[in-house]
Amino acid sequence: MHSIYLVDYRNAGHFFQRLIAADPTRTHHIISTVHSVRAQEGSRTGLTHIHLLSARSGRKKFDLSRTRERALGCMPQRRCLNLFRSVEQAIADSIKQYAATADETTIFVWNGATVMGEAARQFQQDSGCHVVFMEISNLPGKIFADPKGTNAQALLFSEPSLLNRFQGDLDAYPQWRDSFIQQRKHLHAPPQATTARQLGIQHVTDAVHALLFGYRHFSWAAALDKIGSQFRSCFQSRRQRRPVSIPTGNYVFFPMQVSSDTQLLLNSKLNNIQALEKISSECPTRIVIKPHPAEIDTRYIGAAIAEAKLEDRVEISDCNTTKLIEGADSVYTINSTVGLEAKILGKTTCFLAKSIYAQIDQSMLPNYVMSYLLDVDFFDSGNAPIPLQIVEQLHTRARLRATN
């Protein structure tokens, strides 16, 4: 069997390399737009690697408006088409190269709401090959995997009854839940918040290489915000930081999302401020909001609250998210994974946009958490071995089909 990995995100490339190391029996092929992924891999034996550079596309039309690159304005339609066609051709060439020794191919994609993800999805539709789309689950040591996509593009979104096929351990779930809650109460920020703020030489090298030779997957606004955040953090005093005390009295909790989150850009008609205005118009109770820890620049939030004259009703908190959920009367979310956490804690949760979690009730939670999600840590930076069992589960998940 043959495995192809599409990489447009450096951390995904690192994760895929761990999968490759756990699977010595298959042939592997990385197709990447990220310069540092190729540099890290070097000339590893038994692995082929294609680094995609800017090229002209033979495809005249394809709607890529629902991709992250177009939503963020990273690349114009023409350049997205170039990348789309290059990925399609690279996949076809890879399958042809290994046709004599591999009777089946599985394509691995991180997130999937990208140009590379659309290319894999279209190739899947045209050829019937197997694809597995992955994403972090916001639960420690677990990832989401689906044969159609992530979030609203997932097969699970269109058919939540699939969870009936995944029987979670009902006896083990309560213990996992209690352990999860205690662990989250001591978590200041999720791992993705830390990685979002990182700015090292590899980030700069990848950005320069993308600008000069390849494809830009980041927006200028996000890049400038990250640079500005580095400078502001050096001079920000403790007095300027928001208190982390637990709110008292009755309130509803609204955890905000990263402004550039694909969930927000592609699966919601509301942004953070519009959602806050909607909640304030529907709910007379005090509203406690928490900016996402991975949001680089949060200054716009205070300005929007003042403009809407909501200072007397809205409180901004940096308190622990789990503690804020526990103290709330109910939780409002656009389509954040915090909504899943709120359901795990048994809170009434209102989703304002498309979300898998809105369709998962209390009876489905053990199956989703204990069986559907896969037990592997995406954020492990120590190259911890991934069990071969997880690799096989990913290949099996790529072959999951709808009931009807």
Res 202 pLDDT > 90:
no
Cα gap 33→9, rounded to integer Å:
8
Please indicate, yes or no, whether residues 24 and 94 belong to a single structural domain of this protein: yes
Please indicate, yes or no, whether residues 349 and 387 belong to a single structural domain of this protein: no
Question: What phi and psi, each to the nearest 5 degrees, are found at residue 331?
Answer: -125, 130
Specify the 3-state DSSP secondary structure of 50: strand
Summarised one tens digit per residue, pLDDT across range 338-387 is: 999 999 999 999 999 999 999 999 999 999 999 999 999 998 876 788 99
Strand ranges for 172-255 from DSSP E: 252-255
Cα gap 37→343, rounded to integer Å:
37
Please indicate, yes or no, whether residues 72 and 156 belong to a single structural domain of this protein: yes
Res 42 pLDDT > 50:
no
Summarised one tens digit per residue, pLDDT across range 218-261 is: 664 555 555 555 555 555 544 345 556 788 899 999 999 998 88
**Lowest mean pLDDT across 184-188, 298-302, 388-392:** 184-188
Please indicate, yes or no, whether residues 278 and 377 belong to a single structural domain of this protein: no
Cα gap 74→217, rounded to integer Å:
6
> Which tokens is 389 given?
């069992």
Summarised one tens digit per residue, pLDDT across range 276-310 is: 999 999 999 999 999 998 887 788 999 999 999 99
Cα gap 37→284, rounded to integer Å:
50
Nearest to 331 by CA among 355, 302, 310, 312: 355
Res 54 pLDDT > 90:
no
Please indicate, yes or no, whether residues 320 and 341 belong to a single structural domain of this protein: yes
Residue 110 located in a structural domain: yes
Is the alpha carbon torsion for 261, 265, 269, 273 positive or negative?
A: positive
Q: What is the pLDDT of residue 330?
A: 97
Q: Which residues does 185 contact at the CB level (< 8 Å), separation at least 6? A: 320, 322, 323
Say which residue, 220 or 393, is predicted with more confidence. Answer: 393
Please indicate, yes or no, whether residues 81 and 121 belong to a single structural domain of this protein: yes
Res 88 pLDDT > 90:
yes
For residue 163, the enclosing domain spans 2-167+373-399
Residue 347 located in a structural domain: yes
Q: What is the pLDDT of residue 199?
A: 54
Q: Which residues does 388 contact at the CB level (< 8 Å), separation at least 6? A: 22, 23
Residue 208 located in a structural domain: no
Residue 22 located in a structural domain: yes
CB atoms within 10 A of CB 228: 13
> Which tokens is 302 given?
């205070």
Please indicate, yes or no, whether residues 149 and 50 belong to a single structural domain of this protein: yes
Q: What is the pLDDT of residue 59?
A: 55
Cα gap 198→227, rounded to integer Å:
10
Summarised one tens digit per residue, pLDDT across range 109-162 is: 999 999 999 999 999 999 989 999 999 998 999 999 999 999 999 999 999 999
Mean pLDDT of 197-221: 64
Q: What is the pLDDT of residue 294?
A: 81
Please indicate, yes or no, whether residues 17 and 153 belong to a single structural domain of this protein: yes
Mean pLDDT of 105-109: 97
Exposure string over 240-256, b if 16+ CB within 10 A, otherwise e: eeeeeeebeeebbbbbb
Residue 15 located in a structural domain: yes
Q: What is the pLDDT of residue 237?
A: 45
Residue 190 located in a structural domain: no
Specify the 3-state DSSP secondary structure of 255: strand
The one-letter amino acid code at 334 reads: I
Please indicate, yes or no, whether residues 157 and 52 belong to a single structural domain of this protein: yes
How much of the chain, in percent, has pLDDT values that exceed 70? 81
CATH number at residue 109: 3.40.50
List, in sequence order, every residue forming a beta bridge with 28; answer none if it has no partner: 3, 47
Residues 18 and 383 sit within 8 Å (Cβ to Cβ): yes
Q: How many domains does the chain have?
A: 2
* Reported pTM: 0.88
Residues 156 and 131 sit within 8 Å (Cβ to Cβ): no
Average pLDDT of the residues of the chain: 86
pLDDT category of residue 45 using cuts at 50, 70 and 90: very low
Res 182 pLDDT > 90:
yes
Residue 221 located in a structural domain: no
Please indicate, yes or no, whether residues 10 and 76 belong to a single structural domain of this protein: yes
Residues 344 and 328 sit within 8 Å (Cβ to Cβ): no
Specify the 3-state DSSP secondary structure of 4: strand
CB atoms within 10 A of CB 315: 17
Nearest to 123 by CA among 59, 55, 218, 27: 59
Cα gap 299→236, rounded to integer Å:
13
Please indicate, yes or no, whether residues 38 and 147 belong to a single structural domain of this protein: yes
Please indicate, yes or no, whether residues 357 and 378 belong to a single structural domain of this protein: no
Nearest to 275 by CA among 251, 304, 248: 304
The CB-based long-range contact list for 217-221 (8 Å cut-off, 24+ gap) reads: 217/8, 217/9, 217/33, 217/68, 217/69, 217/74, 217/114, 218/72, 218/74, 219/72, 219/73, 219/74, 219/260
